[in-house]
């Protein structure tokens, strides 16, 4: 299986979720199943069905997180020596050459990506266009609305 790139923070978030699922959610579900069983006939017991469905979701998510973490390649951007080039984990300041709007993104793994927080997936069109560029370069991004050009203003490894 391929290694999944994660920043240190992304790995911490996945570990926190895994811990919460194992220590809080799993016992809650077991308790809900026991409670529903105590109500008798399981064939027409909606509480039991709902608890079993929740159990399947929790166990599936635990397995998914364990798989991702076991295949994670954790990358600490602050330890990178990329000579100012944009690489996984880099935080990049850009200017849209059409609108002159400035934006800042961090290039992260798929599981960490959240545009609201300025985190874009390494597999996104913008990240693919930026990888290898450095301050002063212009990146052409093929977006759904057409080609957009961004000038790289700064590259940081935080």
Is residue 68 within 8 A of residue 111, CB to CB? The reply is: yes
Q: Residue 42's pLDDT is what?
A: 73
Binned average pLDDT, 10 residues per bin, the chain of 158 residues: 85 95 96 87 82 95 94 88 90 94 94 93 94 94 89 93
Residues of the chain with CATH 3.10.50.30: 77-157
77-157 in CATH: which number?
A: 3.10.50.30
Q: Residue 1's pLDDT is what?
A: 58
Q: Residue 104's pLDDT is what?
A: 96
4-75 in CATH: which number?
A: 1.10.287.180
Q: Residue 145's pLDDT is what?
A: 84
Residues of the chain with CATH 1.10.287.180: 4-75
The residue among 12, 11, 5, 8 whose CA lies nearest residue 76 is 8
Q: Using CA atoms of 127, 137, 153, 97 in order, give the dihedral in degrees to the nearest 10.
A: -80
- Its pTM stands at 0.80
Exposure of 52 by Cβ count < 10 A (0-12 exposed, 13-18 middle, 19+ buried)?
Answer: middle
């Amino acid at each position: 299986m391929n290694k999944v790139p994660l920043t240190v923070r992304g790995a911490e978030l996945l570990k926190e979720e895994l811990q919460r699922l194992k220590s809080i959610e799993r016992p809650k579900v077991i308790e809900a199943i026991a409670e529903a069983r105590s109500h008798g006939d399981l064939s027409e017991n909606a509480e039991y069905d709902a608890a079993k469905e929740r159990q399947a979701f929790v166990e599936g998510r635990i397995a998914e997180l364990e798989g991702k973490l076991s295949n994670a390649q954790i990358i600490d951007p602050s330890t990178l020596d990329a000579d100012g080039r944009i690489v996984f984990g880099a935080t990049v300041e850009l200017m849209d050459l059409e609108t002159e709007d400035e934006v800042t993104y961090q290039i992260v793994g798929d599981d960490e990506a959240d545009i609201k927080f300025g985190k874009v997936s390494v597999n996104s069109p913008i990240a693919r266009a930026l990888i290898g560029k450095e301050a002063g370069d212009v990146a052409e991004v093929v977006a759904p609305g057409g080609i957009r050009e961004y000038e790289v203003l700064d590259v940081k490894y935080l």
